[in-house]
A and B are shown apart, each in its own frame.
Chain A
Amino acid sequence: MAFAWKASGLTYNRYLAVAARVVRRSLKEGERLKAERRGEMELKFAKWENGKQGENKSLAQANASSMAEGAGHGQGQ
């Protein structure tokens, strides 16, 4: 069983996040604002090597780009 989203390099979590975003966006105005606040994510992360912290990067961008790398044929978003 091959999934279209898997073939386009998304992880299951990413797939869920995208689906959840679509649902949130299709809500009514007032509810939508409340719901969209639940979908926000502003984390930063850094890779460590040999006890040294690397550069601080935005997690959202890094995730998107790493998934784009793994994509077979374009992003399925």
Chain B
Amino acid sequence: MLSRAVRPAFNAAAVVSARPIAADAAGYATLREIEGRLKSIRNIEKITKTMKIVASTKLNRAQRAMVDSRSYGETSNTVFEKAETKPIESEDKKTLIIVCSSDKGLCGGIHSGLSRATRRMLEKKPNSDLVVLGEKSKAQLGRSSGKNIQLSFAGVGKDVPTFADAQAIADQISLLPTDYADVQILYNKFINATSYEATPIEAFSEEAIRESPNFAAFEIDDEVLANLREYALANSLYWALAEGHACEQSARRNAMDNASKNAGDMINRFQILYNRTRQAVITGELVEIITGASASEG
């Protein structure tokens, strides 16, 4: 309003004022723009903060489940350690790789870390078969090595994995027609709150168990051996799922923490920019008023 009223006087009187007017017009526009961006960044910060809090609460439960399941899985594997079971090295039999990821994203690079480790293993043994748990790794591995995938499971990682989950998966895996020389369960090992490593757990085939050097120490009937194998597979799967879940939650917590921090930084920067632009606009207006007044006086 005001600037329009005094503009004729300006144009006639001062050439210098052409620049402030242009900056002024742009200043109004950017001021609103900056305000809009500030608002949206604040909203994003709110969301990431909430997700972080949710992840932290879930992390506690997940870690407890992980500690329990780890001792469970390790106990189950003690049998094979004592029996000195080794995977059979044979050319004609395939290896099965079970990848334990989950359905949800927004948790940094843990899924792609698993997929990368899987691809590395596939390079060494190109005719291995894959079983993928969770949508994320399925999408990644489906693109690069879809031919190797035999089964994929969805619905993993909604909550802390239960033993029932592991059992059902183990059952479906043992129904696969091919006889595998050895089974590798690939999962994210929880090293500490910020680092994880894709690690394989061995699950042995019946033949491998039977041929282990110390097998005679355990008086196991041949008929029961299949049960032991299935049960050990479920145990290892449960361990891998629970530990993977804990890793995912902790990775999500970290990712959301970083996102909130970055949003905070951006908010600070934009706030300063916003204040500066606002001041510039006010100064511009003052200059206009004063020059207008002095021009009409003279």
Q: Which residues of A contact B (CB under 8 A)?
A: 1-2, 11-14, 16-17, 20, 38-48, 50-53, 56, 59-60, 62-63, 66
Contacts and interface: CB of A to CB of B under 8 A. Distances in A.
Given A13-B230, A63-B168, A44 B155 contact: yes
A45 B173 CA distance: 11
A45 B224 CA distance: 28
> Chain B contact residues (Cβ within 8 angstroms of A): what range?
20 to 34
8 contacts: A1-B224, A13-B168, A13-B230, A16-B231, A39-B164, A43-B156, A46-B151, A60-B168
Given A14-B167, A60-B168, A43 B150 contact: no
Contact of B162 (A2, A38, A62, A63): A38
A38 B68 CA distance: 14
Nearest to A60: B168
B150 A41 contact: no
Contacts of A41: 162, 164-165, 167-168
Interface stretch (B88-96, B141-149, B277-285): B141-149
Interface of B: 138, 142, 146-147, 149-156, 158, 162-165, 167-172, 174-175, 221, 223-224, 226-227, 230-231, 234
Nearest to A63: B171
Given A41-B162, A43-B168, 19 more contacts: A11-B171, A11-B230, A13-B234, A17-B164, A39-B162, A41-B165, A41-B168, A42-B158, A43-B154, A43-B155, A44-B153, A44-B155, A45-B151, A46-B154, A47-B150, A51-B142, A51-B147, A56-B154, A59-B168
Contacts of B150: 47-48
Contacts of A52: 146
Nearest to B223: A1
B152 A59 contact: no
Contacts of B158: 42
Contact of B153 (A12, A39, A43, A51): A43
Most-contacted residue by chain B among A40, A52, A59 (CB, 10 A):
A59
Contacts of A17: 164, 167-168
B151 A47 contact: yes
Contacts of B170: 13
Given A43-B169, A48-B146, A59-B169, A11 B174 contact: yes
A56 B165 CA distance: 17
Contacts of A66: 175
A51 B221 CA distance: 39
